[in-house]
A and B are shown apart, each in its own frame.
Chain A
């Protein structure tokens, strides 16, 4: 049978709202038709439109129906999957009458349709999996009770600090005894690798470019304040994309880890600034992989490459900036990676720790073992599958990668087997603070063997109110239309974000995390050193997980 020609009254070609991930609930009785919601919607999922309404009235004792037609103004959700409501809720925020709100639709079929023109779905955010993560299932069960006095988080002296950098084994320290005292034997010529004392929660690599100027600036100001005023040595990684030249030449550079990734964006400016640097950076991170999109390179969409970004990165405006999936010079870990570590070390006179970052993978141990034999490798950062990104294919984010807990644990135990657990610090990332448990997740990873953890997404949420969550809410980071002004280069959007407020929140978040870490470590009797590898303190309510992680099962 041939399809009906012309107007199709059955609307069979249209999607129903039930297919959409968020359904906008609009209340006619409250709406005053001001138009703020439709103006603010970053994806134009709602529009002001008019409808014809037919009303039938009957007045008088005998039914005498009279039909009348009127034109009414409504706010309508469009049924175009290219303009699907992302559920950000900006409309709700601007509505003066609480007349509109998106509602999550668990039956949605977004992934069935979001590939128009053969374009696979790209987005920002992280893995859309709201289930409880392994990190959130870990519990701290070794509580100091009557056999040993628990410590008082408020009274006892705590040192929540970690080390970033290659640490020599004690046998290799150039120490000699002179008059009953140990002295450093400078004549030995032994290379002592640089080591930084840091707060064990670091701010992970989010580039200036992926982030808006006020967001990046807010984070940076917060970090400087934490170090200078609060005496909490938080370090922050630049991400790929360079750093503002003024910061490169400032005394605050010591709080930043500069990242070099496969696109080398921003490194012209960094190299030019080298002779003018008054401080060394905290470290150099060589990015080989990212947990959110293993095997993919960085991606800054053209719409985000505005004047400032183009200048810092040394590229023309409005071009897609794709970093290759791997460093073009990398053909073997034995040689090329070692050379890169050495080159970066050499650029700063071997005074700066240089470490690689990889995405969580079953092959992490192979990388680790290679680094363990490289005396210049300062650490290994492993980014698990729950890590975030500014732009990636949905399939990479949702389905690629390795959970951080077991990946980190097997790497740590491998180091233990070699006796190198204190020589090569492991940095764990990916999904820390996913449910808001920043300190607990960090402490759990530390007890599984991490020397430090990195957070990114959590900070955007907590310090700048990012709407994103694991129900695919918002996640517009790749489009440059971030309604919070966090991941956009559009001044109309980013002026919504106040960098001072971001900085204030960063400070509050780290101060609170510091307190919470103490509240975890104190009842476990730890205060002077963070409990790296104290796996007897952890339990989980799943036997298979307990066995895999080498911890106890508790229920």
Chain B
């Protein structure tokens, strides 16, 4: 709720057409269920039956079900079931490596999505251990009330929330930030002008999870996933992929040779902004970066153990009023602010110096 209230202070920056929340490193009732995947979604009566049947047939055993204590509010149209179901992996997967488990979870999520896509009977946002996602159309504060976030004791170390969803396309829950894939999440402000070539490039990678794109911002999450998980690059190269340096700037980098090759090979993933991206990775690292024109706001501020990455300063003030404000970080075009897991350390990685 704290995050939503902070979001509310930035009300002038969103149009209240929707809100999404993705939480990671959960506490409360999820504390003891860290190793088990959580399926977050929305279903109709019929859809829920279909989900249960599918999961059972495929060997997933439900361990725990959480549902928000929904309170009707005028601005939000209620659907049948909002849920986060915790499952045990199928037996044949219990001893498999995490990467194989991740692929199974993603395939399952995609299959469920396909099953309910046409009649909107099944909408699934994430299926991953220790990650919960809630999304609904409406004003963020009302949506938060609707989900009962002000009453429910659900807690998480990382909470991503974004109000407003992509307005270029039809209002669709799948277009609602933050986006999530296999442990990687991101949300963005701004519009992605290079959306179509990036989408075409991602979709032609042969990776089944690169679909959807109801929002032009979903590609940021998938580029993050592709860069770090698929290509195995350290996180800060995400910045080099989406906002590559000029040739002369690159020459000063100690890893110039690699960065030069990357820029060519990943040319199609260069964003042109204007965008500010906030994201997290499976280990709990959070980051904020700007595109090379730095036309969007973004600020990181807080105290050891608690940092807020927000579009606007007023949001940080609301979330963490007691902090050294002069130490707030406003990342510029070469910067990537990286907050280590557990918010222990914040560092600014400068792209020019590498």
Contacts and interface: CB of A to CB of B under 8 A. Distances in A.
Interface of A: 142, 144, 147-149, 151, 156-157, 159, 163, 167-171, 173, 175, 177, 180-184, 192, 195, 197, 416-419, 421-422, 524-529, 531-536
B255 A144 contact: no
Contacts of B195: 536
Contacts of A159: 246
A421 B272 CA distance: 18
B264 A167 contact: yes
B258 A183 contact: yes
Which of B197, B246, B247, B273 gathers most chain A CB within 10 Å? B197
12 contacts: A151-B293, A156-B293, A168-B261, A168-B264, A170-B262, A173-B262, A182-B255, A182-B258, A527-B272, A534-B194, A534-B196, A536-B196
* Chain A to chain B: the 7 pairs with minimum beta-carbon distance, closest first: A525-B193, A148-B191, A419-B204, A182-B258, A533-B197, A529-B270, A184-B257
B75 interface: no
A534 B268 CA distance: 10
Which of A175, A197, A418 gathers most chain B CB within 10 Å? A175
A418 B201 CA distance: 10
Nearest to A451: B267
Contacts of A157: 292-293
Interface residues of B, number: 43
A226 B243 CA distance: 27
A418 B200 CA distance: 11
A17 to B, nearest CB: 55
Contact of B264 (A147, A163, A180): A163
Contact of B265 (A148, A173, A181, A534): A173
A531 B268 CA distance: 9
Contacts of A147: 167-168, 191
B133 to A, nearest CB: 25
Given A163-B267, A169-B265, A175-B261, 11 more contacts: A147-B191, A157-B293, A167-B264, A181-B234, A183-B255, A525-B272, A527-B272, A528-B243, A528-B244, A528-B270, A532-B267
A56 to B, nearest CB: 79
B193 A144 contact: yes
B289 to A, nearest CB: 14
B234 A177 contact: yes
B87 to A, nearest CB: 32
Nearest to A533: B197
A144 B191 contact: yes
B237 interface: yes
A197 B263 CA distance: 12
B94 interface: no
A167 B269 CA distance: 14
B73 interface: no
Contact of A532 (B168, B197, B262, B354): B197
B110 to A, nearest CB: 19
Nearest to A193: B264
Contacts of B265: 167-170, 173, 422
B206 A419 contact: yes
A526 B244 CA distance: 14
Interface string B264-284: 111110101110000000000
Contact of A182 (B193, B206, B233, B267): B233
B231 A421 contact: no
Contacts of A168: 261, 264-265
Contact of A527 (B234, B266, B293): B293
Contacts of B206: 419
Contact of B193 (A177, A419, A526, A533): A526
B65 interface: no
Contacts of A525: 191, 193, 272-274
A373 to B, nearest CB: 16
Contacts of B237: 182
Contacts of B211: none
A536 to B, nearest CB: 4
B22 interface: no
A177 B232 CA distance: 8
A528 B292 contact: yes
Interface in B283-340: 292-293, 295
A184 B200 contact: no
A422 B244 contact: no
A534 B193 CA distance: 9
Contacts of A142: 193
A464 B57 CA distance: 75
Contacts of B35: none
